[in-house]
Amino acid sequence: MMLADGAIRSGKTIAMILSFLVWSLSSFQGGDFIIAGVTGGALRRNVLTPLFGLLEAFSIPWEWKRTESRIIIGKNVYHLFGADKDNAQDKLQGMTACGAYADEVALFPRSFVDQMIGRCSVEGSRIFMNCNPAGSWHFIKTDFIDRAGEIGLCRLHFTMDDNLTLSPVIRESYARAFRGVFFRRYILGEWVSAEGAVYPMWDDGENTYVCDNPDRRYRGMRRFAAVDYGTVNPCVFLDVRDDGSIFWIAGEYYWDSEKTRRQKTDAEYADDLLAFLGGDRNVQIIVDPSAASFKAELKNRGFRIQDAKNEVREGIATTAVLIAARRVRVERNRCPGLMGEIHSYVWDERARQRGEEKPLKEKDHAMDALRYLCQTRTDRFRRGEG
């Protein structure tokens, strides 16, 4: 097995794809191989696009049978898998593979990784993996990296210095973008656990403001509403104004059915949202994609809906970048729920000791709405960072 881990933008993905491609074509003819990504979309974006570019550059003929989720290169067949679900390993059952390539393997369920290794039973088979670091208790760290000599793992640790295409200015911009545990992981490439507050870079002075004249202050800004839908759990709406650089959280709606002892229907929440927005339907509503019934109600009323990107760890990292850069500002007098949650939003210690990494699921509803906003609407921020 070979594992490439380390800093973001360090070139490990291209290095591993090229290594896997050259090795598989030179070692086998007519073999079956596994190529896996976190999701089908991530696999196409992170692996297939650069893979096809390499094949074209080396004039190697290939055929992508999209409906069959496989690529034929030479006489070899490369089967494509998404590993985002706990039962994803079932797709590998019964397969005999000559080798495997796993992209961002630290995000895979353990069951898929074990099944993938077990499927590579042909003599001479090899497994190529890459990932960014996660927590120090993650199974990739404890069961693979820490036992490298015992299990025959070759570890290649990458830093940004290994990517010769990055200029010093770009490296510095990435270093400035991250703080705390995210800096140590994504820039230094360390396997460190997230402990304590999820957003320790939050500053009550720098990340808040007071607005006395909304009509004048928000004039010309785009408007969004970020929604964390709940029936038994609280339901939160955030009124967001976007000036092209900063997300201004201008107000919040926070309905706690347990505290009020009354659950609201989708129709009542839709009424409340319309009133919360002052009757303005020309607002894009960012909603958790799982809130199917509420989305249907909003669409029937003429609202414009966008499914939120709901990757928790990536979303937290993106939100942390924006908070640290002071590109998230909250009207502290009109968002008491969010202001209360931001200080009590912590990592789950018990989950960390199991090798998992997730926030404690308590008082996190405004935090979820904020994460939906930041992860769904930040492409331009990333472009701005170079």
Whole-number pLDDT of residue 379: 66
pLDDT tens across 294-331, in order? 999 999 999 999 999 988 888 998 999 899 889 999 99
- Residue type for position 303: F
Checking if the pLDDT of 175 tops 90, the result is no
Residue 75 binned pLDDT confidence (cut-offs 50, 70, 90): very high
Whole-number pLDDT of residue 383: 37
Report CA torsion sign: 340, 376, 44, 80.
positive
**Token pair 């969010």 is at which residue?**
338
Say which residues have a Cβ less than 8 Å from residue 50's Cβ, sequence separation at least 6: 13, 14, 17
Whole-number pLDDT of residue 260: 86
Average pLDDT over every residue of 76-102: 91
Checking if the pLDDT of 385 tops 60, the result is no
Checking if the pLDDT of 386 tops 50, the result is no
Whole-number pLDDT of residue 381: 47
Please state, for a pLDDT cut of 90, what percent of the chain lies above it.
Answer: 73
Choice among 143-157, 214-228, 367-381 with the minimum mean pLDDT: 367-381
Measure Cα distances from 337 to 311, 341, 363 in Å. 23, 6, 9
Measure Cα distances from 360 to 170, 192, 363 in Å. 34, 18, 8
Choice among 106-120, 239-253, 309-323 with the minimum mean pLDDT: 309-323
User: CB count, 10 Å around CB of 217?
Assistant: 15
| pTM given for the model | 0.69
β-strand pairing of 328-331 with 247-255: parallel
Three-class DSSP category at 331: strand
- Which letter does DSSP use for residue 44 in this model? I
Mean pLDDT of the chain: 91
Six-digit token pair at 148?
A: 């490298």
Nearest to 311 by CA among 357, 371, 366, 369: 371
- Residue type for position 205: G
Average pLDDT over every residue of 7-23: 95
Residue spans of the domains in the chain: they are: 2-172, 208-384
**Token pair 């992508």 is at which residue?**
64
> Are the C-beta atoms of residues 114 and 92 closer than 8 Å to each other?
no
- DSSP-assigned letters across all residues of 126-155: EEEEEE----TTSHIIIIIITTHHHHTPEE
Q: What is the CATH number assigned to the segment(s) 208-384? A: 3.30.420.280
User: CB count, 10 Å around CB of 30?
Assistant: 9
pLDDT tens across 203-226, in order? 999 999 999 999 999 999 999 999
Whole-number pLDDT of residue 193: 79
Whole-number pLDDT of residue 305: 95
Six-digit token pair at 196?
A: 């304590």
Q: Can you tell me the distance from the alpha carbon of 34 to that of 270, in angstroms, rounded to the nearest whole number?
A: 46
Residue 174 binned pLDDT confidence (cut-offs 50, 70, 90): confident
Nearest to 103 by CA among 213, 4, 236: 4
Question: 156, exposed or middle or buried, with CB in 10 Å at 0-12, 13-18, 19+?
Answer: middle
Q: Can you tell me the distance from the alpha carbon of 5 to that of 302, in angstroms, rounded to the nearest whole number?
A: 47
> Are the C-beta atoms of residues 181 and 173 closer than 8 Å to each other?
no
Residue 382 binned pLDDT confidence (cut-offs 50, 70, 90): very low
Query: Which residues on adjacent β-strands are paired with residue 126?
Result: 99
Checking if the pLDDT of 340 tops 80, the result is yes
Whole-number pLDDT of residue 352: 75
Q: Which CATH class is domain 2-172?
A: alpha beta
Burial 187-211 (b: 16+ CB within 10 A, else e): bebbbbbbeebbbbbbeeeebbbeb
- Of these ranges, 21-30, 172-181, 228-237, the one predicted with the greatest mean pLDDT is 21-30
* E strand or H helix at 312: helix 312-324
Average pLDDT over every residue of 153-174: 91
CA gyration radius for the chain?
Answer: 23
**Long-range contacts, 148-157 (Cβ 8 Å, 24+):** 151/1, 152/1, 153/1, 153/2, 153/3, 154/1, 154/2, 154/3, 155/2, 155/3, 155/4, 155/5, 156/2, 156/3, 156/4, 156/5, 156/12, 156/15, 157/4, 157/5, 157/6, 157/189
> Are the C-beta atoms of residues 235 and 386 closer than 8 Å to each other?
no
